[in-house]
Chain A
């Protein structure tokens, strides 16, 4: 018997050459911003304005501007925090874990996913600071020696662990992201014509020369950072979950939280990556780089993690019943049937039921349905955190203190404001930074001289990508669609 391995399908369609890649990606950076980008950026700036106004109100008058009360002392603030941190996780997973597992398909999405991580963590970091009564004293959470003796932080407090977890996560992600950007910055620097852009990208590229030594170091650093980041994928949300799990609030005091939160984070992260990628793909015409295969793969990860989360939800109920603890049981009954049942229903529908649609191939490969699904998951995961935080707190031990929470306009403003912050940063990134890792994508091109009449020397720099690949492959057609491959490849 002879086993013939299946021919691997190309990860980048359209029969791109190295030069095509450079052209396709750099063009976005070099060309003047298009009208769609301008419109999107204007909207993002409006939301950023809402953010600044809401933050001003919060800082000037106090947390009382929010809807919190004596019973529910955290609500939208920490919901948003956990939501944003969770979103960040997909970036790390894609860049680090998939790198270690040699999942080459990650190359075309890792840059944007990592950028998303950074910006999501920036947005997330707003909340632990803003939610403090006295944010100007926020530096006290660091174990700084003070003049009165050895008054340090409280190392028993999960909030202190959070500080370390988030700051480590942010710095490692930032370094990882930036390392990957250096060769691409050098490419843009080399192509730059304007004086300012030349200087700017020179500075950003750290004098990258593309020498073998540089590449060797680049690969090593990437691998080391991937190694460091991989435990972070698990640890960050584990620690975030301990903010709840170490407490004694029924509904929070749960040992399942660490894996449950990590799965939820990856789940929501992939949903956000999908949302962003689908938009980027359309806006910047990157159909050949972000193929339907990518989307299908991400959909699968989303479905798996969504199902893990679903199992966790059910386990919580089982444990509440099994424990025979009255307060615990009531917390879960109240979660599903109490005054906030609608939040619970929204969470269940969005996170557990709708992702199961991904079993259908049509859904997996449909741009529109995937986009809708990713939004639904984002909403569902926001509700998950809301359900955990608010429905647990609003009815805990003493019925005398039971209360309802309703958000104020400022609560909403801070939340949609961080969306504005996120998209402002992301749009700036998409305009001024290469959105796809050119250097790495080039390593996965399936390209031979025989096969690829792609580079049209007559086309010049004006529009090479659109003219050439069209003859071979239609953008957006699934990579799995029949393609003529050269057999001696």
Chain B
């Protein structure tokens, strides 16, 4: 029996049979339109599916922009592997041998070059920040005539023609040049244009010192000095070669059980400087009294002179100690008065220090400027005797006290050329602009000290259409060799070595050899000691308020660093102020005149006046004020313009040189302008658990008693805080990273702050945000002043009144610095309170921050007893408010400086010191590749690397061979302590108690039970 479903099946028509066994009925094409522009009905789902998918894809973030692979990969460049090149940083102030870390052809960080016999691996804050200046958008990007872009050939043609036609002197104005080849290039130029007069002047002038020593700048060795007396010389912060001196200085300041001796450091100064804050005995004196101090010291040591300071007890003690340490003492002075320097030289000579701590045979070359010559040139220019002037890295219109005269005199000069890197205050007045390369784009050599050579090499191809200034000079002299070849020829001449020596020198960055430069011929100034004494004694005492003009550790007087936001935001080591200068006044004066912090004063001197806010500065000499130079630029670039005021015209530019002092009148304007300080509370409030210090005398008698170890009360009596815990301890089976910070070595310079900032892509937030207390630095240096009041007064005065009184620092306080970064607690309070586990503990003891997981409750920051966590209040890389100050995260040019190994943190997440976990990982991987364990010293943090005084030691505490292991073992129970031990957070950062070689007390005398 067969069933059928319809007539068609019964009849089995061919029409039916063709589709009877098909799963789907065939498409009836006739339903579809023939119009091709209309989508067929049956494609609806297809099209919609595509549409949805396309829309979804399009709405996704584009993954990577501008990732261009190498077409031909340079042999030495491996993506993600950094290359290091040795180079040299010298911008007219301090010399630093550096290693340039480059990633994919971009310099991203500078580190100290340990090969250098001068800076020995240390690096100043300015040098650390210099890498940012390479990507400075304020640089002039091309050659220009009257600010209109021209080609180099066109400019060369015109300049050569004009130079040839010049009548009158051709002046080349530069800061100190320590490059032998550059000098040779200038000689070539002088040979072509014999009327050339090369005038060097230094923004921070040492003319007086050069005059007193017959054109020679002595080399100093602070490490050999048992007694150091400094008259206004901030040799740890800014004077001549601070990194070199700091390295030497701490050698004799470090103590341990086997070496319980320290140098004794006396400082006579006006403003509270970094050096003064490290001194054992600091005597505030007026700028005009420095002569009297030098005379009195001279009288006490050599005899035959007295001054009002002769009866000063401290001075007498210093003189006695110097005499007791003949050949092992050192007197230095930052004064630019040749008379003072003559006496200082005489004192050192009389004490037999020449040959030990003072070296005249291997002089330093980093200051060669002659103020007298410069002053004369300005006069000549004004008189129309100068036909052409070339500025090479010199900006006298801004940074010379006679800037206004220079600007006026420039009108009289027919041919004006600027080789400066930007159209700065001086360059802007010049007709021709032939901008120089940045030093990271250039070949060059340096001789910072006789016999010691140093090289710089390009670490990146030139970013802009600039040309190295030396090459420009060679072109104009008709020499067409490249500066590289010129340099090599010269180098061979100086060292006598061939290709191998050159290769070695390029590799090391330093070499031995000399250009044997002759002593400078200074215009005037030389005098005998007796003349000096009579000159000092006959100088009339200025009446009125004296001003001391000083240099900041971050921003130099020359103003080269003004457009560098890292340095603008570097807190001054003493005042902790950022972004601008101010009038530092002593408290007594502020109270008398009823000025309070932030009140704007009108400062008038030399017929020039500026308005700056007041900062009450403990340690400032009475009846004096201090103002930092290097601020108030107007053509530095977006960052540096109008930050503070230019105080240079307040300096006295007299016949013997520039004196960074003067007499001013101060009037309150009624306005107020807040000062952006990163620390606003000045004293420690006698909180010994935070930071500890003691005297050398105590340390000598019993090193085990200099540190107070807190105990907590338990049922079993007093115990170490770590005995009582709610926590289970972590097990560290492999590494346990730790850090030790020697408070005796830390001078508070702030180099680590910038090193960390560059390494870890830390945002710059600008003045207003610093005022709002939101700076982002991962490491900060806490600075505490001592107070005249102590807890010992509780009984008589009551706690409330005593605490109030303890908030005020002493008038001439003791200072203690404490670098503070994430303490990587083993019992971290931040870790418990994060609701989403964004901050956790690693198996190597690190307190890790997972940015991606952070939702920003900020509880961790509240619960951090050290307050080292930093929150991204804004989107610092895309919020327009931060475009100027945080340019290095905004523009393509600026972003080149970012470290690709470290995430740029998003808005709303917490960040903090990671112990440079990327460096740890790199070191571990490197060791793993070589199938070995990491060796101590190969992994170090950015702060430890940059520290000029080796105060920071980083390493694996579980490695018995490591320095930190040995150090902690040695110092355990002596100087090693944890900050806030009693709260038992068990930090991985250990501090070593500061030992002071002085009688003055930071803390009150303990009650002896």
Residues on A facing B (Cβ under 8 Å): 61-64, 67-71, 73-74, 128, 131-135, 137-138, 140-141, 151-154, 156-160, 163, 243, 246-249, 326, 329-330, 333-334, 337, 393, 395-404
Contacts and interface: CB of A to CB of B under 8 A. Distances in A.
Contacts of B684: 399
A443 B820 CA distance: 68
A400 B782 contact: yes
Which 7 pairs, one residue from A and one from B, show the smallest C-beta to C-beta distance? A133-B856, A133-B908, A64-B873, A69-B773, A400-B782, A401-B867, A73-B858
Contacts of A134: 854-856, 906-909
Interface in B840-881: 853-859, 861-863, 865-867, 869-875, 879
Nearest to A397: B865
Interface stretch (B48-56, B584-592, B728-736, B831-839): B831-839
Contacts of A337: 800, 803-804
B833 A247 contact: yes
B774 A247 contact: no
Contact of B772 (A67, A137, A333, A401): A67
Given A396-B867, A399-B687, A402-B680, A329 B799 contact: yes
B803 A62 contact: no
A26 B684 CA distance: 67
B800 to A, nearest CB: 5
Nearest to A337: B800
B836 A141 contact: yes
Contact of B873 (A63, A393, A396): A63
16 contacts: A62-B879, A71-B773, A132-B857, A134-B908, A141-B836, A153-B835, A157-B834, A159-B833, A248-B829, A333-B799, A396-B865, A398-B820, A400-B679, A400-B818, A402-B680, A402-B681
Contacts of B681: 395, 399-400, 402
Nearest to A406: B772
B741 to A, nearest CB: 15
Given A247-B829, A400-B784, A402-B681, A154 B687 contact: no
Nearest to B909: A133
B685 interface: yes
Most interface-central of A62, A135, A151, A247 (chain B CB within 10 A): A62
Given A73-B861, A133-B909, 6 more contacts: A62-B873, A133-B856, A134-B855, A248-B983, A333-B803, A398-B690
B775 interface: yes
B968 interface: no
Contacts of A154: 832-837
B859 A159 contact: yes
Contact of B867 (A62, A138, A140, A398): A398
B783 interface: yes
A458 to B, nearest CB: 65
A80 to B, nearest CB: 15
Nearest to A330: B803
B683 interface: yes
A69 B856 CA distance: 13
B980 interface: yes
A240 to B, nearest CB: 13
Contact of B861 (A70, A140, A158, A160): A70
Most interface-central of A132, A137, A246, A400 (chain B CB within 10 A): A400
A70 B773 contact: yes
Contacts of A160: 835
Contacts of B871: 63, 68, 70, 73, 133
Nearest to B860: A73
B910 interface: yes
Contacts of B818: 400
A141 B800 contact: no
A402 B979 CA distance: 17
A61 B875 CA distance: 7
A396 B867 CA distance: 9
Contacts of A403: 680, 773
Contacts of B769: 64
Contacts of A70: 773-775, 861, 867, 869-871
A135 B870 CA distance: 18
Contacts of A404: 680
B833 A246 contact: yes
Nearest to A392: B862
Contact of B865 (A163, A329, A398): A398
Contacts, number: 174
A160 B837 CA distance: 11
B873 A68 contact: yes
A137 B772 CA distance: 26
B198 to A, nearest CB: 48
Nearest to A66: B873
Nearest to A408: B772
A330 B685 contact: yes
Nearest to B807: A399
Nearest to A403: B773
B874 A62 contact: yes
A74 B869 CA distance: 14
A211 B518 CA distance: 115
Contacts of A151: 837, 853
A306 B782 CA distance: 42
A70 B867 CA distance: 7
A254 to B, nearest CB: 14
B855 A140 contact: yes
Contacts of A157: 832-835, 859
B836 A140 contact: yes
Nearest to A154: B837
Contact of B863 (A135, A248, A326, A399): A248
Nearest to A137: B855
A309 B820 CA distance: 39
A128 B836 CA distance: 14
Interface string B803-840: 11000000000000010100000000100111111000
Nearest to B865: A397
A271 B834 CA distance: 34
Contact of B836 (A153, A326, A399): A153
Nearest to B879: A61
A399 B866 CA distance: 10
B833 A133 contact: no
A220 B983 CA distance: 51
Nearest to A64: B873
Contact of B858 (A131, A140, A400): A131
Interface string B963-992: 000000000000000011001010000000
Contacts of B985: 248
A387 to B, nearest CB: 15
Contacts of B853: 140, 151
Contacts of A156: 832-833
B792 to A, nearest CB: 14
Interface string B143-185: 0000000000000000000000000000000000000000000
Nearest to B862: A73
A241 to B, nearest CB: 14
Nearest to B870: A70
Contacts of A138: 855
Given A246-B833, A400-B681, A133 B872 contact: yes
A393 B879 CA distance: 28
B855 A132 contact: yes
Nearest to A401: B867
A326 B872 CA distance: 32
A158 B833 contact: yes
A119 B49 CA distance: 44
Nearest to A161: B835
A255 B18 CA distance: 89
B765 to A, nearest CB: 9
Contacts of A247: 829, 833, 859, 862-863
Interface string B687-700: 10110000000000
A383 to B, nearest CB: 19
Contact of B862 (A135, A249, A334): A249
B687 A326 contact: yes
A192 to B, nearest CB: 45
